[in-house]
């Protein structure tokens, strides 16, 4: 009985850490695509300005490209931000909580968020299906809009998986607050946040990012 209780938490942590790592790879790839989308828009804007000002030849459909690209950098990085604890949270209140009280509040908040994200996935999927069936396109140069609309439920689904992993992590900590936190963002004070931001800037998050 004692051996089982000793092995189970370690196995639980290994599985959770493995899933966290696998999902983290996907999140990093999508976040890179988001960065490339921003770079593309910057370069396109430069071409637009030069073309319009110097050659009187603006980029055809510039606004259409901007509109369709917004879904990429607005949503593809949302799950990685959740992993790193970058979304707005009431940490001023959470910093005063400890042990099971803290983890119960995190469980409650994560569960509510999952319900909200599930509703958003359903609604955004309906928007995608309407665009797919009706063949919606942009007004200027007729870009097909369903790919950008598909990005929204896809990115939110990955966020839902991230929240599910975090909920698992919070539940195991609620069961035993002495366990090592795995796959959950930890609340840091101002000094720790500043140190991690410096480390991320100098050597990258893989060497000094927020603990999970």
Domain boundaries, the chain: 2-208
- Lowest average pLDDT, out of 17-31, 144-158, 190-204, goes to 190-204
Residue 31 has pLDDT above 80, yes or no: yes
Quote the pLDDT of residue 208. 45
Residue 59 has pLDDT above 80, yes or no: yes
Q: Residue 26: exposed, middle, or buried by beta-carbon count in 10 A (0-12, 13-18, 19+)? A: middle
SS3 label, residue 59: coil
Q: Which comes out higher in pLDDT, residue 7 or 147? A: 147
């Amino acid at each position: 009985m004692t051996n089982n209780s000793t092995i189970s938490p370690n196995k639980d942590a290994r599985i959770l850490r493995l899933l966290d790592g696998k999902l983290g790879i996907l999140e990093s790839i999508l976040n890179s695509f988001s960065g490339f989308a921003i770079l593309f828009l910057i370069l396109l804007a430069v071409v637009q300005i030069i073309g319009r000002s110097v050659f009187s030849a603006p980029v055809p459909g510039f606004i259409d490209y901007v509109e369709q690209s917004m879904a990429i950098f607005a949503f593809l990085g949302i799950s990685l931000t959740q992993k790193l604890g970058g979304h707005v949270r009431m940490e001023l209140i959470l910093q005063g909580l400890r042990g099971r009280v803290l983890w119960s509040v995190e469980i409650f908040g994560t569960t509510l968020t999952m319900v909200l994200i599930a509703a958003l996935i359903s609604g955004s999927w309906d928007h995608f299906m309407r665009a797919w069936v009706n063949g919606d396109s942009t007004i200027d140069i007729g870009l097909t809009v369903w790919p950008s609309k598909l990005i929204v439920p896809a990115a939110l689904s990955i966020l839902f998986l991230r929240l599910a992993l975090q909920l698992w992590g919070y539940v195991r900590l609620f069961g035993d607050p002495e366990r090592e936190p795995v796959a959950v963002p930890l609340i840091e004070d101002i000094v720790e946040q500043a140190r991690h931001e410096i480390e991320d800037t100098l050597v990258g998050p893989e060497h000094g990012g927020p603990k999970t």
